[in-house]
């Protein structure tokens, strides 16, 4: 299948070049040729297959990305073993941002969210919220000596972007108190400005919680003396999808968020339609497609709750077959980071792999809900992992790479220039430490020369011929 790269040249290039991330900036160049997914529409997993098949060419990848976070929220009982996490288990937790200019058609993401959530988590929460509302009304209208009884034991999972930290901690604690285990929250906002506006109030600034919410088992705590507050230490897990304009995203991902790790936990998808382009037209779903979508969603809900309303046991998805691919991709990007001296590439590659692994695991889970053909599912998921790892990394580098390098460089009194060829390629076959140091100063790289020399020697890219003299081996 013909593939095209995300970033344009004068001539179309293959998607295999998507992994070339040695040049990046903070601005994504518009491309008239949309990126194509690594699989045909009909070969995608159920639900995603139906959604992507009905999308126009320039919305197929965005629709694929928009399906990921809500489906991960539904698959809350799936546990994973990521290669570099050792024995620590992880879960299907993703934070997606759809970035586009105003009036560029971000509504498709809301349509997908309604399709997946209206008759699943939202229907479940509706009854729970009614219970809370009735309790509040009775408390407001109660007589002086009326016994209110216990507060209803609710387990609400769909939360607004304007939720306060106290309410979030309380809801997460109710999961463990009432159901005996953690569940995944679902958060969606058609305008990221809702999050940033709420964040101006300290009680609703969720940036720190969003970092721990990406990692299963990471806890967040609040401890107050007041009886009107809620104190607990809980494991908060959140899957989220936000739609944003560039200015809103810049405000949300401020310098503290870029350095603190919010950006690396993000799967970013940018819509770049050419000037004067027509609106994206989606085909309606056929009855057969809706039957597949609803049937798969029902299976996912059945993997979460028993018919009696209790939680199903969590189950670990066997992903050992992808470990070699994960290791190979991470090592290749680590090699590129060493050769370029790019700290942004080195940092961003790690969670890009984690997010791609979770995307792949979600797809594998969906494949197994529909078919027992594990070998075919694994072949397809390998393509999905490698494509998404390259895509996520490239988007992160193009959106925040230069800013991250600049912030790192200021710590060493250097100004970063990340659009550069590999340092090791610019050195002669035989070079000295002084030559390397001069090149570092010229290229304005933040990584010290001693670190580069140490790492290059460890990787057998150079050897020391004399004191402070070296010879390239590659």
Please give the chain's pLDDT, 474 residues, in tens. Answer: 333 333 333 333 344 445 444 445 554 444 445 678 999 999 999 999 999 999 999 899 999 999 999 999 999 999 999 999 988 999 999 999 999 888 777 889 999 999 999 999 999 888 888 877 887 777 766 655 566 666 777 788 999 888 888 889 888 998 888 888 999 999 999 988 877 776 555 545 788 889 999 999 888 887 776 666 787 889 999 999 999 999 999 999 988 899 889 999 999 999 877 665 667 789 999 999 999 999 999 999 999 999 888 899 999 999 999 999 999 999 999 999 988 888 999 999 999 999 999 999 999 999 999 999 999 999 999 999 999 999 999 999 999 999 998 888 776 654 444 445 678 888 888 889 888 888 888 877 778 888 888 888 888 888 888 888 998 887
Query: Which conformational region is residue 333 in: left (phi greater than 0), alpha (psi within -120 to 50 degrees), or beta?
Result: alpha
State which H helix or E strand residue 315 sits in: strand 315-316
Straight-line distance from the first to the last Cα atom of the chain, in angstroms, rounded to the nearest whole number: 34
Cβ–Cβ < 8 Å for 242, 97: yes
Q: If DSSP codes are grouped into helix, strand and coil, which group holds residue 428? A: coil
For 9, counting Cβ atoms within 10 Å of its Cβ (0-12 exposed, 13-18 middle, 19+ buried), the class is: exposed
Q: Is residue 386 part of a domain?
A: no
Q: Is residue 369 part of a domain?
A: no
Query: Which conformational region is residue 390 in: left (phi greater than 0), alpha (psi within -120 to 50 degrees), or beta?
Result: alpha
Task: Quote the CA–CA distance of 284 and 183 in Å, as a whole number.
Answer: 33
**312 beta partners:** none
Q: Are both 310 and 441 inside the same structural domain?
A: no
Domain final position from 265, 292, 319? 319
How much is the pLDDT for 268?
97
Give the chain's domain count: 2
Q: Is residue 464 part of a domain?
A: yes
Cβ–Cβ < 8 Å for 183, 76: yes
Task: Quote the CA–CA distance of 85 and 187 in Å, as a whole number.
Answer: 26
Q: Is residue 82 part of a domain?
A: yes
Q: Is residue 111 part of a domain?
A: yes
Cβ–Cβ < 8 Å for 357, 80: yes
Domain of 108 in residue numbering reads as 26-139+150-277+284-319
Q: Is residue 233 part of a domain?
A: yes
Cβ–Cβ < 8 Å for 381, 367: yes
CA 242, chain centre distance (Å): 11
Cβ–Cβ < 8 Å for 472, 461: yes
Task: Quote the CA–CA distance of 173 and 184 in Å, as a whole number.
Answer: 12
For 382, counting Cβ atoms within 10 Å of its Cβ (0-12 exposed, 13-18 middle, 19+ buried), the class is: middle
How much is the pLDDT for 30?
43
Q: Is residue 380 part of a domain?
A: no
Q: Is residue 17 part of a domain?
A: no
Q: Are both 306 and 194 inside the same structural domain?
A: yes
């Amino acid at each position: 299948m013909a593939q095209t790269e995300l970033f344009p040249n004068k001539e179309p290039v293959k998607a295999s070049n998507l992994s070339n991330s040695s040049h990046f900036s903070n601005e994504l160049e518009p491309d008239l040729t949309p990126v194509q997914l690594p699989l045909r529409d009909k070969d995608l997993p159920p639900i995603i297959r139906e959604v992507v098949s009905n999308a126009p060419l320039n919305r197929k990848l965005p629709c694929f990305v928009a399906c990921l976070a809500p489906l991960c929220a539904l698959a809350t009982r799936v546990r994973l073993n990521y290669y570099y996490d050792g024995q620590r288990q992880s879960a299907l937790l993703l934070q997606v941002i759809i970035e586009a200019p105003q009036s560029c058609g971000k509504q498709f993401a809301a349509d997908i969210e309604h399709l997946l959530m209206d008759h699943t988590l939202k229907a479940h929460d509706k009854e729970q919220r009614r219970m809370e509302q009735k309790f509040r009304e009775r408390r407001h209208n109660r007589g002086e000596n009326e016994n209110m009884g216990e507060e209803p034991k609710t387990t609400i999972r769909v939360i607004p972007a304007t939720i306060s930290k106290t309410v979030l901690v309380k809801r997460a604690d109710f999961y463990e108190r009432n159901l005996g285990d953690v569940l995944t929250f679902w958060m969606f906002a058609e305008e990221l400005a809702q999050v940033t506006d709420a964040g101006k109030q300290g009680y609703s600034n969720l940036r720190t919680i969003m970092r721990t919410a990406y990692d299963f088992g990471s806890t967040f705590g609040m401890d107050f003396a007041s009886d009107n507050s809620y104190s607990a230490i809980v494991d908060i897990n959140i899957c989220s999808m936000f739609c944003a304009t560039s200015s809103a995203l810049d405000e949300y991902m401020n310098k503290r968020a870029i350095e603190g790790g919010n950006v690396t936990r993000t799967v970013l998808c940018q819509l770049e339609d050419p000037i004067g382009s027509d609106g994206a037209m989606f085909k309606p779903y056929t009855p057969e497609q809706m039957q597949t979508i609803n049937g798969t969603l029902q299976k996912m809900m059945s993997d979460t709750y028993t018919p009696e309303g209790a939680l199903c046991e969590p189950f670990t998805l066997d992903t050992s077959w992808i470990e070699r691919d994960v290791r190979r991709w991470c090592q290749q990007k680590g090699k590129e980071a060493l050769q370029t001296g790019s700290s942004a590439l080195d940092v961003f590659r790690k969670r890009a792999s984690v997010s791609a692994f979770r995307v792949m695991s979600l797809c594998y889970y969906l494949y197994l809900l529909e078919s027992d053909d594990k070998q075919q599912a694994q072949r397809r998921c390998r393509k999905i992992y490698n494509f998404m790892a390259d895509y996520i990394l490239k988007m992160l580098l193009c959106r925040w790479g230069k800013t991250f390098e600049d912030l790192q460089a200021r710590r060493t009194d250097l100004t970063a220039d990340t659009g550069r060829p590999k340092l090791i390629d610019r050195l002669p076959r035989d070079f000295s430490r002084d030559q390397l140091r001069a090149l570092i100063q010229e290229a304005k790289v933040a990584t010290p020369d001693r670190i580069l020399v140490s790492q290059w020697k460890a990787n057998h890219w150079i050897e020391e011929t004399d004191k402070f003299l070296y010879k390239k081996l590659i």
